[in-house]
């Protein structure tokens, strides 16, 4: 089952996408959104994790600034401007250094 839930926090409420596996109880995974919000790509990852037997939840991390952000990952101008990334640099230029130091597992 795939759906949205509302999470009540100390400072207010926010939405989260939840993808449930066929069997329960199940291990849970919190999927953190990118700059693009809880978009189709993040929801797809949650759905894939649910198909593998995990309860996957992707909370709307930007709910205080702009609730329900859902941007396409191919449209760089809007999210990059919102994040203060100079035009023409793209989000990949800023994400790459974070991945360079991650170990590769085979």
The pLDDT of residue 25 is 93
Tell me how far apart the alpha carbons of residues 9 and 6 are, in angstroms, rounded to a whole number.
Answer: 10
Give 29-52 pLDDT, tens digit per residue.
999 988 888 999 999 999 999 999
Higher pLDDT, 12 or 104: 12
The pLDDT of residue 80 is 55
Task: Name the pTM for this structure.
Answer: 0.66
Question: Which residues does 105 contact at the CB level (< 8 Å), separation at least 6?
Answer: none
Phi-psi region of 91 (alpha: psi -120 to 50; beta: other; left: phi over 0): alpha
The pLDDT of residue 15 is 93
The pLDDT of residue 67 is 82
Give 14-32 pLDDT, tens digit per residue.
999 999 999 999 999 999 9
Tell me how far apart the alpha carbons of residues 55 and 60 are, in angstroms, rounded to a whole number.
Answer: 16
The pLDDT of residue 76 is 52
């Amino acid at each position: 089952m795939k759906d949205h839930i509302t999470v009540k926090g100390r400072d207010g409420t926010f939405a989260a996408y939840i993808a449930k596996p066929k069997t329960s109880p199940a291990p849970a995974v919190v999927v953190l959104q990118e700059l693009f919000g809880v978009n189709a790509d993040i929801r797809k990852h949650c759905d894939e994790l649910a198909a593998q037997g995990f309860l996957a939840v992707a909370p709307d991390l930007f709910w205080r600034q702009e609730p329900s952000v859902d941007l396409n990952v191919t449209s760089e101008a809007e999210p990059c401007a919102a994040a203060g990334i100079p035009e023409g640099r793209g989000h990949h230029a800023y994400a790459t250094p974070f991945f360079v130091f991650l170990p590769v597992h085979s």
